[in-house]
Chains A and B, each alone.
Chain A
Amino acid sequence: MSEHATSRGFYVALGISLLVLTAVTVGAAFVNLGPFNPVIALLIATIKATLVVLFFMHVKGASEKMTAAVVISGFFFLAILLVLSMADYLTRAWR
């Protein structure tokens, strides 16, 4: 019943890379990148979240295929919420 092909070393390495990415976010915040500061911060956050979802939450290699569909639909609806709301608020000044 050896369900996990992933070794403890892999998880620890993943944990360490998540900590390194946190340090990179903090470091990048102090460098003036103009409009790219929030872009970099969100990009790193998304990389971290993706690593957690795929490997810590076992979505990659899940035996139940519906799981991936539910996860993707969740983020899809979140995207609808954020993109459509911002499309409204950011274009209100346009006449």
Chain B
Amino acid sequence: MADSHATAVDTAVASPQLRHHFADMEQQKNAASLGMWLFLVTEIMFFGGMFCAYLVYRTKYFNAFAAGSQQLSIGMGAFNTAVLLISSLTVVLAVRAAQDGKRKQLVSYLVITVLLGLTFLGVKGVEYREKFEKHHVPGPTFQFTDTFDDNGKKIPVDAQHAQLFFSIYFVMTGMHALHMIIGCGLFTVLTVFAWKGHYSPGYYTPIENAGLYWHLVDIIWIYLFPLLYLISRHS
């Protein structure tokens, strides 16, 4: 026990990335990981508040939410879901490449991840443009004349309630997109560092923690997609 600890310290001393207040690299890595998870919990609570607002108004104005949801493009939403899931896969493969010390592989997975993130944002931009053209952006020019189709019965929808759906849609997807923009910036910086050879099998914590962030943003979208795009699609 004492021996193994001593060797851990000895090998760690050689590592330039070890901060003086940690005993060894493993302790430093665990502390960084725990700190990252605590941050992710604050992110869960942050988005949780918005999910709660969504739930409250969806139960209250269900018809307006269903009619609003039917204005969103399932094709683009599903495509973006697939893009994000694939990007999560490339992130996890990047972490794996870093663990194996394969620098070129690491750089290419990071680049693919950034490109997939930008693809997501591009599709989101196209969707937002469509909302502006249809006057579905909340504000003085908001217009909504669609009806809720309840098994062939056309029920008129209060435009104010539909505006609430689109407000929640824009706030939630907007905050999510902001997180994606930050993630793309983060991964661009990591790509440069990875290219310069900053990471090794003994030190790849930044890749791993940025990966955790990326996966969380992915998980939020996993919930946003069915909740916003797929309300009452049958009929």
- CA of A40 to CA of B233 in the docked complex: distance in angstroms? 13
User: Could you tell me if B222 and A49 are in contact, using CB atoms closer than 8 angstroms?
Assistant: yes
Segment of B42-50, B119-127, B131-139, B157-165 in the binding face: B42-50
Do A4 and B96 form a contact, CB below 8 Å, given A26-B74, A74-B44?
yes
**Is B235 an interface residue when CB atoms closer than 8 A count as contact?**
yes
- CA of A15 to CA of B30 in the docked complex: distance in angstroms? 26
Contacts of A18 in B (CB 8 A): 85, 88
User: Could you tell me if A63 and B52 are in contact, using CB atoms closer than 8 angstroms?
Assistant: no
Question: Closest Cβ of chain A: how far from B96's Cβ, in Å?
Answer: 6
- CA of A6 to CA of B89 in the docked complex: distance in angstroms? 13
Please, which residue of chain B has its CB at the minimum distance from the CB of A25? B226
**Is B34 an interface residue when CB atoms closer than 8 A count as contact?**
yes
User: Could you tell me if A37 and B55 are in contact, using CB atoms closer than 8 angstroms?
Assistant: no
User: Could you tell me if B78 and A26 are in contact, using CB atoms closer than 8 angstroms?
Assistant: yes
- CA of A13 to CA of B61 in the docked complex: distance in angstroms? 40
Report, as a range, how many residues of chain A touch the other chain: 35 or more
User: Could you tell me if B37 and A71 are in contact, using CB atoms closer than 8 angstroms?
Assistant: yes
Contacts of B185 in A (CB 8 A): none
User: Could you tell me if B202 and A30 are in contact, using CB atoms closer than 8 angstroms?
Assistant: no
Contacts of A22 in B (CB 8 A): 78, 81-82, 85, 225
- The dominant DSSP class at the A interface is helix
- CA of A71 to CA of B42 in the docked complex: distance in angstroms? 11
Give the contacts of B182-235 with A (CB-CB under 8 A).
201-202, 211-212, 215-216, 218-219, 222-223, 225-227, 230-235
**Is B38 an interface residue when CB atoms closer than 8 A count as contact?**
yes
Contacts of A26 in B (CB 8 A): 74, 78, 230
Give the contacts of A1-19 with B (CB-CB under 8 A).
1, 3-4, 6, 8, 11-12, 14-15, 18-19
Question: Closest Cβ of chain B: how far from A10's Cβ, in Å?
Answer: 10
Give the contacts of A53-74 with B (CB-CB under 8 A).
53, 55-57, 62-64, 66-67, 70-71, 73-74
Contacts of A78 in B (CB 8 A): 44-45, 48
User: Could you tell me if B55 and A11 are in contact, using CB atoms closer than 8 angstroms?
Assistant: no
Contacts of B41 in A (CB 8 A): 70-71, 73-74, 77
Contacts of B227 in A (CB 8 A): 41-42
- CA of A12 to CA of B96 in the docked complex: distance in angstroms? 12
**Is B112 an interface residue when CB atoms closer than 8 A count as contact?**
no
Contacts of A81 in B (CB 8 A): 45, 48-49, 52
Write the residues of chain B forming the contact surface with A, with a CB cutoff of 8 angstroms.
26, 30, 33-34, 37-38, 40-41, 44-45, 48-49, 51-52, 55-56, 59-60, 74, 78, 81-82, 85-86, 88-89, 91-93, 96, 99, 201-202, 211-212, 215-216, 218-219, 222-223, 225-227, 230-235
The 3 closest A-B pairs by CB, nearest first: A74-B41, A15-B89, A41-B226
